[in-house]
Structure formats: structure tokens, C-alpha cells
Structure 1
Amino acid sequence: MRVLMVSWEFPPVVVGGLGRHVHALSRELVAAGHEVVVLSRAPTGTDAGTHPTADVTVDGVRVLRVAEDPPELEFAADLVAWTLAMGHAMLRHALTALLPGWRPDVVHAHDWLVAHPSIALADALGVPLVATVHATEAGRHSGWLPGPLNRQVHSTEWWLAQRADEIITCSGAMRAEVAALHDLDPGAVHVVHNGIDPRRWRARSAAPAPAAGGPRIVFFGRLEYEKGVQDLIAALPGIRRRHRGTRLLVAGTGTQREMLGERVARHRVKGAVRFLGHLPDGELTALLRAADAVVLPSRYEPFGIVALEAAAVGATLVASTAGGLGELVRDGETGLGFAPGDVPGIADAVDRALADPAAARRRARAARARLRTDFSWPVIAAQTARIYAGAVPGGPRELPRPKIPTGNLFATHPPVLPGAPS
């Protein structure tokens, strides 16, 4: 098949896990014999003078990296206007530089930021529109849409979900969430997990020697409120009472770095916490291999690719049951779990992991073995290709705006996991 993927991220433009997902999926589809073009963008804050539109081939994937247009727009300050401008530039370049000589069999949109160009292209070409919803605005805010911007994002997500001919989510939890928030039948939403290439995380040196001075627990990921690092910091005093000298190493960057520093001071663990910032892959791999436990305390997590990355290294996993994490880290089998936001539960789970290293190693081996079956990219690409093949173009649809409750959307539209009582 000829596949046009539309994504606001594609390496080297990477904001989160979405860009790496699109890169790996498109590469694997090409390896399976499909023809893939990715329509993406140049880095934020550049323009056609510094980063002109480029038409390149990456791992067999044709990538059209579209330059930003002249209007002075900032991502953080003008998000909706910036997104509309990005979509307009993508659409214009697709029409002038791509489609005259190439026509896709399917358009695959990744998240709300590319809803406008994706819908326009699918409508104009008369081909199926497949959309992967990687996260939701309400989910990121615990069910709330507190301001106009949040409601604008939510309504765009709803539009994309309603217009798409097929919807994909990365976990069963996300399927339930997307169906509830966007008025869909859960049975019509596909679950296709994110994947991982374990070779990227292969160690190139012997296992680190045990450290003197106490256990090392590691968090890595974005420093945002929904990642729950503040809860791990709050649990650290209790962990240190049971395991003297325990240190917390935090790898990553984000908007909540200052808040987390304040939490460290509040809980009087300044000497036990180090913020390492962004680490290159090699250093991150070494850090994870040296950890006595990798703790992922997310309050909201559509999938949790970091859990797969830690498993690929062979790390001991301790994770919340938020969203997709609860499907990736099976309590007692591939790791240890706790309820999102449960500070005593974090301390108890970390205590169990540190108290029985032999059992922790058995769980780590089970988690690593699962990568070859449930989370391999060839399997994921084949699942996605089957969805493409079964998609039927529904054609243009004129839709009203969604009615957005003023309260918590999870209270008015509670997600119900398949098989759970309604």
C-alpha cells in the first residue's frame, strides 16, 4: 500500500514518544514492502531561510519536512494559531510538491495537531483516514478542561476522532478513554501497542558493580505533573527509612523542574536526589543498568514507552497502574505496581523490589522476554497494515461542535474498560 503519514514530530524533531513511534512504524512498514511518505515539519522557531522545506529519504521512508511560513507565531504563546499555520504549510506543500506525482491509498494522522491537513487531504483524495490518538487533553488534566485552550484542543480531538474512518489507540485504557470522551463505540477502536527495538538499548559493557552507600532508584522521562515524580519524591523518606542511603536519580527535562525542586526541599531529601537533565542514549542505558529499581509513578500515562525501554535494558520495574502502564507492567510478573498517586503504595512497592533482588531479576527477565512478542515493530506494523487494508473511505463529513460539560469529563463520561461492568 501507499501510506501518507502526517505527524508534527519526526526525528530529528522529537518532542515526546510520538516522533519515535512514527519513525519506527514507517520504517517497519517499508521493510514489509509498503511505500510510506511522512509529511512533517521543520524545528519550531525556524523559517524557510534557516530550514527550507526538505524532501529526503530516511531508512527507506520518504520524508517531506515542511518549513515554517513567515508569520511570527510562537508555539507556547500562540498554540492554536501556530498549529493552524503548520497545517496550512503541510497541506500546501503536499498539494504542490507531493501529490501531483504520487497518490496515497490511505492517510494516517497522528494526534490532533495534524487534524486539519489530514482531514483535508483525505477528503480531497477520497481515501480512508486512519487516526492514532496518542493522548487526550482531558486525560492530561485528570478529566478537566479548565480553560479555552483546553476546550479548543479537546474539540479538535473530537473532530478528528469523529471524522476518521478507523481509530487506533496504544492501549486498552486509552481505547476506553477515547471512546468515552469522543462519543465512539469502544468496539470500533483498535488497540495497537507502541513498540521498541531492543537492539537500541543493548548494553556495550559489563553490568555495573553494585554501588556503595545504598540503593539507587531512577526515574526517567518528561518532568511534567502527570508523570508523578512529585509522588515519588514524597515517598522517598519512607523508602530511606527502610533502605538506608537510598538515592533518587531523575533523568529528563520539563516544565515542572522548579516545582520538583521545591518538593525535594519540602520533604527534606535534598542530599538524596539528583536531577541529571537530558541524557544521551548511551548514558541513559548505563544509568538504567546501574539502577536497583526504575520507578515510573505516572498519574496519567496513555502507554508508557519508558517501561519498554527500561525492560529492554533489564531493569527492575516499579510502576503505577495508570493507563497503559498497568498493561505493560504486570504486578508480580514483569514488575511491581501501585495505584496512581498512592505515596505509601510507592514506598511499599519499592521496598518489595529492593528487599528481594532475586525475585526482581526474575521479573526483569520476564519483562524483557515479552518485548519479542507483544511489542516488536514487525508485529505492530503488520497489525497497522491490516487496519489500512480494511479501512473504507467515509468521505467528507460536516460535523457540529461537541457539547463540552463544564465539570469533570471523566465524571460525566467515565471510561469503561472492555469487559468491565458498565
Structure 2
Amino acid sequence: MTTDTVGGVWTYALELCRALAEAEVQVDLATMGEPVTAMQAEAAREVPGLRLHESTYRLEWMDDPWEDVRASGDWLLALEDRLAPDVIHLNGYAHGALPWRVPSVVVAHSCVLSWWEAVLGTPAPARYARYRREVRRGLRAVDRVVAPSAAMLASLERHYGPLPSSCVIPNARRAEAFFAAPKERFVLAAGRLWDEAKNLAALEAVASRLSCPVRVAGETRHPGGGKVARARNTEPLGQLSPEALAGWMSRAAIYALPVRYEPFGLSALEAALSGCALVLGDIPSLREVWADAAVFVHPDDLEGLARELRGLLDAASRRERMAARARARALTLNPRRMAEDYLRLYATLWARPVRPEAGLALGAP
């Protein structure tokens, strides 16, 4: 299994590895991107049988990554030779085009083209032409494409054309990692403050209209070195450990995620498990995941966001009812169910012969 070490992909991968280990499936996890932190390495060591293979190759969505993508492809093929896995589970696209000897799966967590469309309202610029080409090649070469929501699958087909074979397997989180403490009167949000998709500027804009603090956890600086504007109306908590963030979620009355783009939304799932009422961006993927278990507001509707937050803050019985609905829904999105879905998928792929023509050379015209 491959993984990015930044953000939700790492969380998803480790959660799945842990659930697969409980089913006596051994995973070799190959990391790319940023170096594995001491905290991540410790979390990986706690998963029975998990073997970590570390690298810092640049990822396909980064600037000018293609020499690293080629080199990391060679590294992954060498790992396949040495480890002889039963299945290749990729959490990125381009490496789907490698000449794997066993069945391969690509899981779609995000996509530059769909991000650009949803957040900036225009097609991605010409500089992403190669990204589009490499992603399309990877998607068409694998045995199965998986996404955490039907909305994300539809987005892939819109941008890259028909998929060979696909399915939806929702993400999951362990309920026991989260808890609900006595709730306090504040609104919590979490995410990369520099990522326009998170739309945390909307909370900054309405915070002064609320009768309680709005607290925001997450990175304040872009990895490339750019800075975000200092918060005036919200209270920044900085980048927190998973345990510290869970502590804040346990106390928050409301979790707000007014996003413009989010293929699934792991942080909303964590907040729901922590007993928070959810106020979410009204986008197809979050509607699909949460249905009537959240309050939805269009990402551009600041008046609506302020109104819904005030309404939940002032109506304790409604807030508690929405929190209970969210937690009930969250409990169905559990790691055991996720692992069972993946194991059924792997089993169907093991039963079919590997297509010798599946692998294509990375970077071919």
C-alpha cells in the first residue's frame, strides 16, 4: 500500500492497515512526500505486522514532480519484487500505470482538476496537462478504482473519462479514539488554513456575529512558505496532535466545516464521533455522506452560515438532536466495515487473472 504522509491520506491508510491487521492481513506501507514524523512512526509501530518503507519522493500533485514520480515507480516495483504481495493498493494515481504483476487498486482521495473546478470555479490551467494525462493513464490501467463517495467517482469520470471498473467504499474512523465530554459553548473547525477548499475564511467572516468563540485548529502556513492572514475574529489553536484535536472536539458544541471541496471529510466524521453537531458546506459529497445528520450551508452564504450557527447555539435541544444523529451515522462508518469491503474487493481481484497489458510506462506520450 502506498500513502502520502500529509493529512487525511495518512490517517485513512493507518486506519485501514489497523483494521486489516485485525483480519490477519499483513500490510507493507510505502510512504512518499514529507518524511515520516516520530509520532507517525510510533503510530505505525502499534499496528501488528505493519512494515513501513519510507521515502521522500515528490508526489504527482506537487510542482514539477515527474522525475520523482518515475524514480518512486522504480522503487515501488523493486518492493513488489522483494515482498511478493498479493495485491497493490495505491493511494495515488500515476503509479497505477506501472507494470504490476498482481492485481492493483487505486483509491481516489482528491484530485487537482476537481479541486480547481470546485474552489476556483475554472478549469485547471494548461500547466496541469501532464498531470491530467498521467492520472488518466493510471486510472485506466488498474483493475479497480475506489472512491470514498459516489460524488468523487463522478468527478473522476467528468475529468478523466470512463473508468474501467469502480466502486465506492466510505472512509472510517475508530469510535474508541474519540469521546464526548460535557459540551462547552464554542464552535470548532479544523483544516489547513491556507487551503481555499476548506473555506475557513467564511468562519472568520461570521465569527464576530456569534455569541461564543470560534476556534480553528490547523496549519497556518503553506508548505511552500506562503503565510495566511492573521485571524482577527477566530481563535487559532495551531497545528494539533490527533489526541489534542480529539480533546477539543470532545468539548465543542458545534463542528463547522463550510468547505467548497471535500471528497469525504474525515474531520467531520471525527467530530461526529465526539458528539458535535455538524454544520457543513452544502456540496454533493457531504450531502451523500451525512444526509439528514448535519446542517448544510452553501459555501458562499455567509448570512446562512451565521444564522445556522446561531440557531444551533441558541437551541440546545435541536443541537443535541443533530449531534445524536451525526454520531449514529458516524458509528456506521467504522473500520471493520471498511476493511470487510476492501477484503471482498481484493478477493474478487485475486480470482481473476492479471491482465499482462495492464501496466503502461510512466511518462509515455
Q: TM-score, normalised by structure 2?
A: 0.84
Equivalent-residue separation in structure 2 for 1:76 and 1:35 (angstroms) = 30
The amino acid that maps onto 1:252 is: G
Cα pair 2:35 2:55 within 8 Å, conserved: no
1:57-206 superposed matches below 5 A? 59-67=47-55, 78-95=64-81, 98-99=82-83, 103-112=84-93, 115-116=94-95, 118-122=96-100, 125=101, 127-142=102-117, 144-148=123-127, 150-184=128-162, 188-202=165-179, 206=181
Equivalent-residue separation in structure 2 for 1:286 and 1:33 (angstroms) = 31
The Cα of 1:8 is off from its aligned counterpart by 3.3
Q: How many equivalent residue pairs? A: 345
Q: In structure 2, the residue corresponding to 1:19 is in which secondary structure?
A: helix
Equivalent-residue separation in structure 1 for 2:33 and 2:253 (angstroms) = 39
Do residues 247 (structure 1) and 247 (structure 2) align? Answer: no
Which residue of the partner structure matches residue 294 of structure 1?
255
Cα pair 2:178 2:250 within 8 Å, conserved: no
Which residue of the partner structure matches residue 325 of structure 2?
366
Cα pair 1:202 1:313 within 8 Å, conserved: yes
Equivalent-residue separation in structure 1 for 2:301 and 2:166 (angstroms) = 30
Match for residue 235 of structure 1 among 193, 197, 206: 206
The Cα of 1:179 is off from its aligned counterpart by 1.7
Identity level (%): 26
Match for residue 338 of structure 1 among 297, 302, 306: 297
Q: Which runs of 4 or more aligned residues in structure 1 lie more than 6 Å from their structure 2 counterparts after TM superposition?
A: 398-401
Do residues 20 (structure 1) and 11 (structure 2) align? Answer: yes
Structure 2: runs of 5 or more not aligned: 38-43
Equivalent-residue separation in structure 2 for 1:342 and 1:120 (angstroms) = 44
Which residue of the partner structure matches residue 280 of structure 2?
319
Which residue of the partner structure matches residue 217 of structure 1?
187
The amino acid that maps onto 1:109 is: L
The Cα of 1:260 is off from its aligned counterpart by 4.2
Structure 1: runs of 5 or more not aligned: 47-55, 265-269, 402-422
The amino acid that maps onto 2:192 is: R
Distance 1:280 1:220, change over 3 A: same
The Cα of 1:324 is off from its aligned counterpart by 2.4
The Cα of 1:395 is off from its aligned counterpart by 2.9
Distance 1:152 1:58, change over 3 A: farther
Deviation string 1:254-286 (CA, Å, 9 cap, x unpaired) is 54684443xx5xxxxx2x322111112333223
Distance 1:344 1:194, change over 3 A: same
The Cα of 1:229 is off from its aligned counterpart by 0.7
Distance 1:16 1:352, change over 3 A: same
The Cα of 1:312 is off from its aligned counterpart by 0.9
Distance 1:40 1:300, change over 3 A: same
Do residues 353 (structure 1) and 353 (structure 2) align? Answer: no
CA RMSD across the alignment: 3.1
Equivalent-residue separation in structure 2 for 1:400 and 1:93 (angstroms) = 17
Distance 1:389 1:86, change over 3 A: same
The Cα of 1:252 is off from its aligned counterpart by 0.2
Cα pair 2:3 2:29 within 8 Å, conserved: no
> Which structure's CA Rg is the greater one?
1
Distance 1:61 1:160, change over 3 A: farther
The Cα of 1:43 is off from its aligned counterpart by 4.4
The amino acid that maps onto 2:105 is: V
Deviation string 1:170-193 (CA, Å, 9 cap, x unpaired) is 01110111122221259x420100
Distance 1:354 1:21, change over 3 A: same
Equivalent-residue separation in structure 1 for 2:36 and 2:275 (angstroms) = 38
Equivalent-residue separation in structure 2 for 1:258 and 1:38 (angstroms) = 32
Cα pair 2:255 2:271 within 8 Å, conserved: yes
The Cα of 1:289 is off from its aligned counterpart by 2.9
The Cα of 1:153 is off from its aligned counterpart by 2.3
Cα pair 2:246 2:274 within 8 Å, conserved: yes
